[in-house]
């Protein structure tokens, strides 16, 4: 879809904005002057941060610059970056003895889902995010600082920042009360006023996705067809905004 562009997705599963910032700082020397930086702006992004869990700690210890690793522990650095096999602990011998592996597949993401499943998923996860992450919609200090530092970094380097709210299903969006959404958009507007060179693209109610069940893997994730369509739409819109020539 974008054959003439060099792109890289820094997002890992469940990654918070503060880690987006740390990854950006770790690899910024590799960016060209005309880089377009796309930042997540989900309904809970400004409100929720978390510490590295043991599940993902090994990943970030390997890919972040040392000075970007939060709460750096030398023992963990040695374990995950230089002796990662030892992190298998009791399974270390199985790692040596078995050379067979199952091919990683994302075929389940291509599946079409039923309307009932989308509704149930939206109610479960939408309410979880609302009650555990958004709460009273007071911006998290670390997330707010990360937004500002990332946008400052873009300004200093001449990069083009884009805040992005991706498509979500109607059932999912309806889990968030209008007053909560109003506070979210008020926060985004505040960032745009502080950083007039940034643009905001909101596809959360885009009619091409909003009620089109065939494009979703679950209520807030697109399947393969949906991702392909959205990538093309996003790329075309970035051209319209003059971010790509």
Structure confidence by residue, pLDDT tens digits, 112-128: 689 999 999 999 999 99
Which of 192, 185, 201, 210 is closest to 233 using CA atoms?
201
Average pLDDT score over residue span 199-213? 97
Q: What is the mean pLDDT of residues 136-155?
A: 96
Which residues are CB-neighbours of 45 under 8 A, at least 6 positions away? 17, 143
Contacts of 210 (CB under 8 A, 6+ apart): 167, 169, 170, 173
Q: What is the dihedral of CA 41, 42, 43, 46, to 10 degrees?
A: -50
Residue 77 pLDDT:
87
pLDDT, averaged across the chain: 88
pLDDT at 27: 94
pLDDT, residue 88, reads 66
Query: Which has more pLDDT, 108 or 155?
Result: 155
Task: Provide the whole-model pTM.
Answer: 0.87
Segment 125-154 mean pLDDT: 95
Provide long-range contacts, Cβ within 8 A and 24+ apart, for 65-73. Answer: 65/25, 65/26, 68/22, 68/23, 68/25, 68/26, 69/22, 70/18, 70/22
Rounded-to-integer distance, Cα 237 and Cα 66, Å:
37
Burial 198-214 (b: 16+ CB within 10 A, else e): bbbbebbebeebbebbe
């Amino acid at each position: 879809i974008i054959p003439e562009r060099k792109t890289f997705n820094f997002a890992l599963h469940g990654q918070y904005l503060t880690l987006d910032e740390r990854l950006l700082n770790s690899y910024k020397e590799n960016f060209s002057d005309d880089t377009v930086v796309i930042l997540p702006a989900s309904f809970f992004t400004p409100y929720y941060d978390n510490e590295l869990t043991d599940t993902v700690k090994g990943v970030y210890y390997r890919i972040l610059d040392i000075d970007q690793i939060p709460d750096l522990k030398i023992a963990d650095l040695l374990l995950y970056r230089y002796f990662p096999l030892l992190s298998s602990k009791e399974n270390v011998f199985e790692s040596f003895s078995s050379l067979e592996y199952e091919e990683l597949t994302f075929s389940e993401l291509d599946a079409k889902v039923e309307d009932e499943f989308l509704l149930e998923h939206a109610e479960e996860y939408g309410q979880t995010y609302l009650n555990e992450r958004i709460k009273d919609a007071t911006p998290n200090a670390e997330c707010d600082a990360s937004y500002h530092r990332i946008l400052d970094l873009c300004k200093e380097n001449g990069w083009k920042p884009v805040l992005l709210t991706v498509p979500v299903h109607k059932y999912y969006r309806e889990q968030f009360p209008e007053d909560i959404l109003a506070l979210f958009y008020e926060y985004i507007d505040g960032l745009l006023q502080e950083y007039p060179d940034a643009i905001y693209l909101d596809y959360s109610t885009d009619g091409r996705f909003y009620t089109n069940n065939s494009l979703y893997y679950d209520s807030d994730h697109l399947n393969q067809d949906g991702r392909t369509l959205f990538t093309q739409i996003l790329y075309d819109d970035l051209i319209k905004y003059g971010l790509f020539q």
